[in-house]
Amino acid sequence: MFVWLAVVGAVVLAHAAPFPFLLDVTDRTVWRMPAGDPPTIYLTFDDGPNPTATPDLLDTLARHGVKGTFFIIDRHLTDETAPLVRRAFEEGHAVALHSHTRMLMFKTAGGLAKTLEQAAARMERLTGHAPCRAFRPHAGNRSVPMLRGAARAGYQVIGWGWMLWDFDFFKAKTADSLVPRLVDHASPGDIVVIHDGHHKDPRADRRYAVETIDRLIPELKAKGFQFGTICPGSVAGGSLLLLGYPDELIGDLFSQF
């Protein structure tokens, strides 16, 4: 019985672990970025665009002179919110793809690739800018077909650092509780996740997220960190410049499984 439970647990964790596990043995998933010199940390924002929070978040990042990476939910991108995404692009932030549902885990590789391609095309049509080739699935839930499909479409699947997400078990999220933990766990190359939106409610109250970022950035700067974006590259002239890696490595990154 113990062996059976261990196997079941390993299978579940392989698909849902909020840290690198069995499905993350190749470069198709990224859970940590280059440490950098000076040391660099990567702020990422999930579940937007949110017309009640994303503008304040963009104002806060601009005031601190920091760039981040916004993972956008396709169905939250509308005629109303497209200007927010356009603003993120134009202010030098990276913009990537996110999802609102775990069901993408169960798509075929071809189906997942088509979903990403359609979302990217729609973003470009609404904002005038195409997302970079990074994708974060809902709650980090992943599967082999998802990783294959993302690679087929030219995307890497992006995770985050251990304890560097904005959860607070059994109580409301506040900057008072989040900032000390995030600062304490931050190390060079870490990816931080803050939610400026909500996967179900496109207008969720996210004042805690804005306050957290406003207080987090100065504390991380005081520890010597600079800030980077997940995907500084783009598709240009048919050449994939992904996550800062040189072109000649890209074929190797997607040749596994």
Is residue 72 situated within a structural domain?
yes
Is residue 22 situated within a structural domain?
no
Q: Are 220 and 186 in contact (CB under 8 A)?
A: yes
Greatest Cα-to-Cα distance within the chain, rounded to the nearest angstrom: 56
Q: How confident is the model at residue 13 (pLDDT cuts 50, 70, 90)?
A: confident
pLDDT of residue 60: 98
Is residue 4 situated within a structural domain?
no
pLDDT of residue 12: 78
Write the pLDDT tens digit of every residue in 132-186.
Answer: 999 999 999 999 999 999 999 999 999 999 999 998 888 889 999 999 999 999 9
Is residue 38 situated within a structural domain?
no
Percent of the chain at pLDDT exceeding 90: 79
Q: What is the CATH number of the domain that holds 117?
A: 3.20.20.370
172 by DSSP, 3-state: which?
A: coil
Write the pLDDT tens digit of every residue in 46-97.
Answer: 999 999 999 999 999 999 999 999 999 999 999 999 999 999 999 999 999 9
pTM: predicted TM-score of the whole model, two decimal places? 0.89
Give 8: exposed, middle or buried? Use CB within 10 Å, 0-12, 13-18, 19+. Answer: exposed
Q: How confident is the model at residue 240 (pLDDT cuts 50, 70, 90)?
A: very low
Is the pLDDT confidence value at 236 over 70? no
Element spanning 222, H or E: helix 207-222
Number of domains in the chain: 1
Element spanning 194, H or E: strand 191-195
Identify which of 88, 85, 68 has the alpha carbon closest to the alpha carbon of residue 229: 68
pLDDT of residue 171: 86
What average pLDDT does this structure show over 233-249? 35
Sequence-distant (≥ 6) Cβ neighbours of residue 33 within 8 angstroms: 40, 42, 189, 190, 191, 228, 230, 243
Q: Are 142 and 15 in contact (CB under 8 A)?
A: yes
Identify which of 92, 57, 60, 54 has the alpha carbon closest to the alpha carbon of residue 76: 54
Is residue 143 situated within a structural domain?
yes
Is residue 32 situated within a structural domain?
no
Residue of higher predicted confidence among 194 and 237 = 194
Is residue 69 situated within a structural domain?
yes
Can you tell me the distance from the alpha carbon of 135 to that of 56, in angstroms, rounded to the nearest whole number?
24
Can you tell me the distance from the alpha carbon of 102 to that of 93, in angstroms, rounded to the nearest whole number?
26
28-37, 68-77, 215-224, 245-254: segment of lowest average pLDDT = 245-254
Domain interval for residue 146: 45-253
Is the pLDDT confidence value at 7 over 90? no
Is residue 5 situated within a structural domain?
no
Write the pLDDT tens digit of every residue in 18-43.
Answer: 999 999 998 899 999 999 999 999 99
Burial 128-142 (b: 16+ CB within 10 A, else e): eeebbbbbbbbebbb
Element spanning 40, H or E: strand 40-48
Give 65: exposed, middle or buried? Use CB within 10 Å, 0-12, 13-18, 19+. Answer: exposed
